[in-house]
Structure 1
Amino acid sequence: MLTGGTFWGMVERRAELTPDALMIIDDRGGELSFMGYRDAALRAAAGLVELGVGLGVSVSWQLPTWPSTLVLQAALARLGAVQNPIIPVYREREVGFCIRQTGARLFLVPPVWRGFDYQAMAEGIAADVDELDVVVSDGELPEGDVSVLDGIPVPEDPEEIRWVYYTSGTTSNPKGARHCDSSVMASGIAMVERQHVTEEDQFGLAFPFAHIGGVSNLSVSLSSGCTLVIAEAFDPTETTELFARHGVTLVGGGPAFFMAFLAEQRKQPGQPILPQLRLCSGGGAPMPASQHYEVMAEMGGRGCGHAWGMTEAPIIAQNTPDDPDEKLAETEGRPLAGAEIKVVRFDGEPADVGVEGELWIRGPMVCRGYMDEELTAASFERDWFHTGDVGFLDAEGYVTLTGRVKDIIIRKGENISATEIEDLLFAHPKVLDAGVIGLPDEERGERVCAVVELDSGADGLTLAEVGDYFRSSGIMPQKIPEQIEIVSSLPRNATGKVLKHELRARFSD
Structure 2
Amino acid sequence: MLGGLETALRRSHPDRPAVLGRRGIRRGDLADLATMYAGALHHRGLTAGDTLGVAVRPGPRALAIMLAAYRLGLRVAVLDPSAGPDVLTARLALAQPALVVADAAAQAVAGWAQRLAGRAGLALPSLDRLGPVVTVGRRLPGCAPALESRAGGAAPDRSDMDGDAVIVFTSGTTSRPRAVVHTRASVSAGMAAVARLVGPRPDDVVLGGTFFVLVPALASGATVAQPARSSRKLAAQLGRLRPQHTYLTPPQLRAALDAGARFTGSVYSGSAPVSAALLDRARAAGATAAYGVYALTELFPAAAVEAAEKAAFDGDGDLIGAPLPGVSASVDDTGQLLLSGPSAAHRYLGEEPLRNVATGDVAHLDAHGRIVLGGRCKDMILRRAENIYPGLYEPALHVPGVNLALLVGVPAGDGDEKLVAVVEPQPGADERALRAALAAPLARMGAARPDAVVFAPVPVAGRSRKPDRAAASALAARLTAAGDGRG
Fold match, TM over 0.5? Answer: yes
Tell me what 1:274 maps to.
Answer: 262
**Counterparts of 1:175 and 1:189, CA distance in 2:** 26
- Count the aligned residue pairs: 403
CA contact (8 A) 1:169 1:175 kept: yes
Aligned ranges 1:19-34 → 2 under 5 Å: 19-26=14-21, 28=22, 30-33=24-27
Q: Secondary structure at 1:332's aligned position in 2?
A: strand
Return the offset for 1:94.
Answer: 2.0
Structure 1: segments with no counterpart, 5+ residues: 207-213, 266-272, 347-356, 409-417, 452-479, 490-502
Q: Kindly provide the amino acid, as one letter, of the partner of residue 276 in structure 2.
A: A
Contact 1:56 1:162 survives alignment (8 Å): no
What does 1:86-105 correspond to in 2, within 5 Å? 86-105=79-98
Confirm whether residue 186 of structure 1 aligns to residue 186 of structure 2: no
Alpha-carbon distance in structure 2 between the residues aligned to 1:292 and 1:358? 26
Q: Following superposition of structure 1 onto structure 2, how do residues 243-282 of structure 1 map, counting pairs within 5 Å?
A: 243-265=238-260, 273-275=261-263, 277-282=264-269
Q: 1:173 to 1:242 in 2, by over 3 A?
A: farther
| Contact 1:164 1:179 (C-alpha < 8 Å) held by counterparts | yes
Specify the alignment match of 1:155 in structure 2: 159
1:300 aligns with 2:286: yes
Cα offset for 1:295?
2.3
CA distance in 1 between counterparts of 2:48 and 2:346 reads 19
- The amino acid that maps onto 1:224 is S
Question: Which residue in 1 is equivalent to 2:432?
Answer: none
> How far apart are the structure 2 equivalents of 1:170 and 1:336?
33
Q: Are residues 362 and 343 of structure 1, via their aligned partners in 2, closer, same or farther at CA, if it must alter by over 3 Å?
A: same
Q: Is the 8 A contact 1:331 1:398 kept in 2?
A: yes
Distance (Å, rounded) in 2 between the aligned partners of 1:481 and 1:182: 46
TM-score, with length taken from structure 2: 0.71
Q: In the alignment, which residue of structure 2 is the partner of 1:466?
A: none
Q: Any idea what SS the aligned residue of 2:35 has?
A: helix
Q: Which amino acid aligns with 1:89?
A: S
**Structure 2: 5+ residue stretches without partners:** 109-114, 140-145, 381-407, 423-457
1:84 maps to 2:84 = no
Q: How does 1:127-206 map to 2 (within 5 A)?
A: 127-128=128-129, 132-135=132-135, 137-138=137-138, 142-149=148-155, 152-157=156-161, 159-169=162-172, 173-206=176-209
Which residue number in structure 1 is paired with residue 439 of structure 2? none
1:280 and 1:440, CA in 2 relative to 1: closer, same or farther beyond 3 A?
Answer: farther
CA RMSD in angstroms comes to: 3.9
State the partner residue of 1:290: 277
One-letter code aligned to 2:249 = G
Q: In the superposition, relative to structure 1, how do residues 258 and 179 fare at CA in structure 2: closer, same or farther (>3 Å)?
A: same
Distance 1:294 1:313 in 2: 28
- 2-structure distance, mates of 1:146, 1:192: 29
Identity %: 21
Aligned position for 2:459: 440
Shift of residue 302, structure 1, vs aligned partner? 4.1
Measure, in 2, the Cα distance between the counterparts of 1:82 and 1:333.
Answer: 33
How far residue 73 of structure 1 moved from its aligned partner, in angstroms, is: 0.9
What does residue 32 of structure 2 align with? 39
Deviation of residue 20 (structure 1)? Answer: 4.3
Q: Does 1:360 align with 2:338?
A: yes
Distance in 1 between residues matched to 2:269 and 2:75, nearest whole Å: 27
Provide the secondary structure at the position in 2 that maps to 1:71. helix
Distance in 2, Cα, partners of 1:400 & 1:93:
37
Q: What's 2:373 paired with?
A: 401
Q: Are positions 1:340 and 2:328 aligned together?
A: yes
8 Å Cα contact 2:134-2:147 kept in structure 1:
no
Structure 1 residue 218 displacement after superposition = 2.5
Structure-1-length-normalised TM-score: 0.68
Conservation of the 8 A alpha-carbon contact between 2:279 and 2:290: yes
Partner Cα distance (1:163, 1:442) in 2: 40
Task: State how far apart, in whole Å, the 2-side matches of 1:364 and 1:331 are.
Answer: 23
Pairwise CA distance, 1:399: 1.5
Query: 2: CA distance between counterparts of 1:123 and 1:434?
Result: 27
Residue aligning to 1:486: 480
SS in 1 for 2:154: helix
SS at match of 1:60: strand
Cα pair 2:74 2:165 within 8 Å, conserved: yes
